[in-house]
Structure 1
């Protein structure tokens, strides 16, 4: 189900990223040609995997954060995940479920004090799901999902642990089951 308001979000997000990424790079160059841009960039992200009886979930989410100073950082990230469920589920008659989720995000981080990180993250992901039921054709559900997370976490320097809330959450149109989501961010 498409929502006209969010239909062009991927194009706008890409334009926003491409238009704004070169600015900090050029702003950090000194007249002599040397710059310290890369000394302010922190790389990180997350990786995950879970396996069970007829269940597989694998995810990868690399990211980079430009640390303007001790208080502010701005970053981008990519993410991808694969979920597969096989088996005979007599409650719903579902025999097979498979989903690919991929996309990106823009993260703004603010540390008012060293131990506290406040964040805002705009995430845009593409969801491609296939449901298989007995004696019926496969059902495919492919859509874009947009989330705007506001979060708070405890910061230890390279690692931040916290919770974020999706202010755009709609139970009927979301990839996730709940607007609250715990997070662990690692940037070196």
Structure 2
């Protein structure tokens, strides 16, 4: 396709969301939640589960699992918790294996049926290296925080689940310690 060869990532993201909007003719939030006046909705009907995972094999082995659980507080607002585990192994570099783990809390507000605003506080335990004394490298672990703000698109599959696509910006990004290459993060995940 001629438009996909364009190097501009913003154009690609816009076209992806526009196409998904055309495909999805009826919208739902992460979990269909329609409280009746005067009736208390049971907790299990307001909970939703999901997350994302990633795999890559080759010269770099990358495995990620990030489950989450959310709770619809109102018809449009939800909060949740999540965990993250990543395993990295660089085959071309001896003993270049690392694990990254941590957790997150998030808030999500559905602006429209399929568009949401997202805020997330994440802290990950990463392995870092420093030169101490000069010429000798010391490996150590440190908790690295991240505050992600942004939004995304929800593509429903029925009234119970679907796919989330989000673009987030880490306002606490530290290029010396962060496990992310850039302050911008694009995510795709699922909920049910």
Q: Give the drift of 1:138.
A: 7.1
Q: How far apart are the structure 1 equivalents of 2:69 and 2:57?
A: 28
Q: Which residue of 2 aligns with 1:66?
A: 71
Report the TM-score, using the length of structure 2 for normalisation.
0.68
Structure 2, unpaired ranges of 5+: 1-39, 157-161
Aligned residue runs from structure 1 range 120-139, under 5 A: 120-128=119-127, 139=138
SS in 1 for 2:57: strand
Taking structure 1 as reference, are residues 129 and 52 closer, same or farther at Cα in structure 2, changes over 3 Å only? farther
Match of 2:159 in 1: none
Larger relative contact order (Cα-Cα within 8 Å, sequence gap ≥ 6) = 2
Once the two structures are TM-superposed, the CA of residue 171 in structure 1 deviates from its matched residue by: 1.3
- Deviation readout 1:16-46 (Å, 9 max, x if unpaired): xxxxxxxxxxxxxxxxxx9700110001111
- Does the CA-based 8 Å contact 1:97-1:130 persist in structure 2? no
TM-score, normalising length from structure 1? 0.70
**Counterpart of 2:186?**
182
Aligned equivalents of 1:43 and 1:129: distance in 2? 32
Describe the shift of the 1:152–1:180 C-alpha distance in structure 2 as closer, same or farther (beyond 3 A): same
> 1:33-48 to 2 correspondence within 5 Å?
36-48=42-54
How far has the Cα of 1:47 moved from its partner? Answer: 1.5
* Conservation of the 8 A alpha-carbon contact between 1:98 and 1:130: no
1:164/1:128 CA distance change after superposition, 3 Å:
same
Q: 1:178 to 1:62 in 2, by over 3 A?
A: same
CA RMSD of aligned residues (A): 2.2
